[in-house]
Structure formats: structure tokens, C-alpha cells
Amino acid sequence: MGKIFGRLYYIVKKNMRSLLVFEIMYRTATFLLSGYCVQTAIDFSLKKQGFSYLTAENYTSFIFHPLSVVLALAVFLQILFFLLIEAGALITCFEASSNRQKVTPGDLLFGGLYRTFIMIRKNKAAWILAAGLPAPIMELHLIVREISYIKLLQFSAQQLYKAVPWHWVLFAVCGLLLAFSLLFIYILPGSFMTGGKLGKRVPEALKLFRKNAGKTVVGIAVINILVALIVGTVYLIAVIFVVLYSMLTKSTAMAAGAVLTYSRWLDIGLGLAAGAVELVLTLAFVFVIYEKAYPDSVSNWKKRILFPRHTSKGLKLRRRVAGVLTAVLLVSEGFYGVYVMIQSRQTAENIWNSVGITAHRGGALMAPENTVSALAYANDTLCDYAEIDVQETKDRVLVLLHDNSLKRTAGLKENIWNVTYPQVSKLDAGISFHKKFRGEKIPTLEEAINFSKGKLDLNIEIKYNGENKGIAKRVVREIEKNDFADHCVITSMNYDFLKQVKKANPDIRTGYIMTMTYGSIANVKYADFFSVKHTYVDEDFVAEAHACGKEVHAWTVNYRGDVKRMINCGVDNIITDNPVLVRKVLDQESDTRTGFWELMKYALRI
């Protein structure tokens, strides 16, 4: 075994730099593309089935619907295709290393694409078996981590666990699946290095496994333990760094939320890294065994493929082009990754959302309500949404204001529809809250949107006062003008406003604000969710809404006991004046535990 791992170390080290760049580039690109395809497939299937949201109540009918099954198979085939290209690239790298040849990341990508093309051309649909049979044992760490932090997969696993009364059967099936996958672990190197029909490669792979069964089992076990130790150590170090960074750069009130957000991104990054390291080491181990059994398959590689020692001018040019494209792709992925992190408060795992938090009136606990300072507080406390109230002035300018009168917040005893925007712009919306906010202006809806872009999603409540019948269409136009439709919802107590919004732009999500919950909600078709006063929310109402494929947002929840009750009822979002309190209750944290070890528990989910 020592010689095998020594050889493994050499063939990985020989082209380590190119291998590292390729894996970062390729894993990031395929992760982003796969995530987009999964989300698109879910949204498309939900829309075709008439559901607004995926909930526990409609999960079974959604997941077993023929359209969902077809889309799931399509996504699965896409993932296998990406795996096949990556495996082809790695085999190309190992062959080059075995022949003491240097390669570039572009060479690896070209080699993976070329080998995959040959594989599919010769084997047609059988390539699915070549990629799918060894996949479970080669990507075990990635699969486990995906299930642990992608809520949809986690929920599916939990449902399966509940459905099978004999849990040992599930563990036995998983064990048998891994053992079966291990039998075919030599398929990929044989298929890529010798070519030909898969029907010839399968008996060859099984024969090679039988001859090296003990070495293979021990080697794969050692690799998995090694990957677990490496990833666990890196994760612990990264978590410590995240906690210390949050303590140094965030206030006490915001540190816990920051740790949770950063640690979710750590989960995703390390999940991808674990999958990459495991696949590289596993394929390298398999390659070493294979080249020892079939040395001619490696020594004759120059006749088949890609990189003779003395390169031609054309090959040099292709390498330069590939290098430039690789660099551009890496930079693009970096910028896109930062963009995704800024745009989304939750990670790619959140197709199955947990309880969200909305700051009431922008964030009225620590700043004047419906102001930019309030929105800044909502952003700093990592809220999912900030709720704002929109009315319009005499000259039809959309501004943030809750009451009809300006008296309480700005000191002017006049209704908003009797005052022009130039008059409103001169008022002080901060002094009545605290002197440090002196000079705070009443913002327009456009100013609120511009501040929130890339930071915060908005829950825009359209107030009805009898003087603003056309306000809904004007709000929609303002949202569309600022390209903000994907980052807001529109709510109102006036159901006709929601109807107008949906007719103007069906893609904007709408919420019906209700102070009571009597009667049926099944036919409230112009509302995508219900925003309900928390005293009227109970488990039956939430279950009925979820059965209709719609969320329930509870307002205005400011006390610990009420927060816990809403969580127990299963609401999807809590609207509150105190987002920090809600965050602590959600994470089962007391008001006083904000030290290093407590934040570590946040990050490690313990």
C-alpha cells in the first residue's frame, strides 16, 4: 500500500497547480450552473402544478408528479455528464503525470471534453452507467454534505426515514449501494484509457477489482478518512476565523446573525472542496492500480491523445487561448460568486426555506420608521426583508409613510394626499424618534429601492386611504423601472390592489394582509401568501395555507413567547420590530450569550 500511495502522491503533485486551478474553475462553474437548473426546474414544476410554494403539505404530490420526475431525471443526467467530463480531465492529468509531462488547466478541460465525446459516441446511452455506477463511492462526502445542508434533500431524507419503520433496512441499503458502486470503480479509467465499448470494460473492471479487492477497500477507506480529517480541520479553522472576524467587525447584536450567514457559505464551499478532493484522490488511486495492471494503456497515450513532448505551433496557440479563456472564466466566476453572495441572504441550499425575518416598518426599533436609517438597521441585522409602507403625495410621488397624517412622524398636522413632495422633502422624520437622527428625510420609494439593491429585499405594503386608487400600478412601474421585481413583494389590506398588481406584472409576488382568518382562503388567487396578525395565527390556518401552496407571514411579533408560538405553528416569516430577538429565539439563544464559545456553537450548529 505504501508504494501505491507514493505513486498516487507523485501523479497528483506533478501537475498540482494545473489540477488545483482546473478544479476550482470547473467545480464553481458546474455548481452555479447546476444550482440554476435545479431552481429553474423546481419553479417550472411548481408553476405547472399550480403551487406558489413548496411546502411540507404539498411535498408528496409535487415530488411524485410526472413533470417533477422527468425534470429530476434531467438534472440527474446533467450532473452525471458534468462528472464524466471532470473524470476525463483528471485521467488526462494523471496520464500526463505518469509520462512526466506538464499540462495546463486548458489541456485538462479539453481532454475531459474530448474523452467524454468519444465515450458518448461509442456507447450512446450506456455512458450513464459508466458515470453513475461508480459515482456514489467517488462522491460520498459531497453527497452526505449536500443532504445535510440542502433543505429539500434533508427533508426528503427525513420523510424516507419516517416512512421506513425498520431503520436498519435503510442503513443496510445504503451500505449495499456503496458496496455495489465499489465493484465498478475501475470502469472510468478503463473506458477512458483504452476506449471501446462499455460492454468490454465492465468485465475488465470487475476482474481488476477481484484481483485487488483488499487493496481497493483499504485504499478507499483510507482516502475517505483522510478527506474527512482534512475537511474537518479546515472547517474548524475557518469557523474560528469567521467567529473572530464577526466579533471584531460586528456589534454584539449582529455578531450571531453574521456568524450564521458566513458559516452557511463555508458549508457550501467546503462541500464542493470535499467532493473535489475525494474524487481526485479516489481516481488517482484507481489510476495507479490500473496502470500497474495495464502498463501499455499508459505508455501508448501519446498515440491516442493530446500532448506530445514537442508541441506544434497549433497546439501552443490552443494552449494560450485555453489559458486566456480559463483566466477569464475564473475572474467571471469570482465576480459572479460575490454577486450571488450579496444578492442572496441565503445559500443555494435554501430552495426549502426556514423561518424568515422581516423588519417591521423598515426597522423601527432602532431608527425612525420607514427611513433609510431604518433600512440600514434591517440590513445590519441580516433580515430577509424590510417591510415598508407606501403612500403618495398630492403630486403623485410615492413616499414611505404609515399613517395618513404626517403629524406623528414628521410633526406636520396634514394628510399626505394634501401635501406636495417638495413640502414633504423639507420635513424632519428623525427628530421625533431621537435627536441623533435630526434631519432624517422621508424617502421616496425609488430612494428606498436604490438603497436596498444588493443588500436587502423589500416587503412593500401599499396603504389604502381612499385617495389613491391608481397607486398600485404606479408602484409596479416604479419597481419595474428600477429592475427590482425579483427582490420585493407587494402586500396590502386592499385585495383589489393585489389584483391590479398581478394584472400589471404577474411575476411580482403579492401578500394579502389579514387581521382575522375566518372563512376559506382557497379562492384568494391574487395573493401568493398571507400576512396575518399573529394573534389569529394557529396551526390549522398555517396547514390550510400550506395546502394551497402559500406561505404565512405573521405580524407584528415582538415577544419571545409569541415568537416561539409562531415557530411552533410553522409560519414561514416573522415580521417584527426586534429582528435580533427573533434571530436569537430561532437559534435557541438567550439574550446574554454572545461570547466566543456561544458564537462557535452558532457556527457549528450545536
Residues identified as active-site: 360, 402
Q: CA-to-CA distance for 581 and 568, rounded, in angstroms?
A: 16
Q: CA-to-CA distance for 554 and 545, rounded, in angstroms?
A: 13
Residues in CB range of 80: below 8 A, 6 or more apart:
128, 131, 132, 135
Q: CA-to-CA distance for 358 and 363, rounded, in angstroms?
A: 9
Give the three cell numbers for residue 244. 473572530
Give the three cell numbers for residue 128. 450513464
Give the three cell numbers for residue 272. 464542493
Residue 573's H or E segment, with its range, is strand 573-576
Q: CA-to-CA distance for 490 and 478, rounded, in angstroms?
A: 12
Give the C-alpha distances (Å, rounded to integers) separating 100 from 8, 12, 246, 304, 313: 14, 11, 46, 17, 21
Phi first, then psi: give them for residue 152, nearest 5 degrees: -65, -45
Is 533 within 8 Å of 515 (Cβ atoms)?
A: yes
Q: CA-to-CA distance for 466 and 474, rounded, in angstroms?
A: 16
Q: CA-to-CA distance for 308 and 19, rounded, in angstroms?
A: 19
CB atoms within 10 A of CB 64: 9
Is 330 within 8 Å of 21 (Cβ atoms)?
A: yes
Length of the chain: 606
Q: CA-to-CA distance for 551 and 51, rounded, in angstroms?
A: 11
Is 572 within 8 Å of 355 (Cβ atoms)?
A: yes
Q: CA-to-CA distance for 100 and 14, rounded, in angstroms?
A: 8
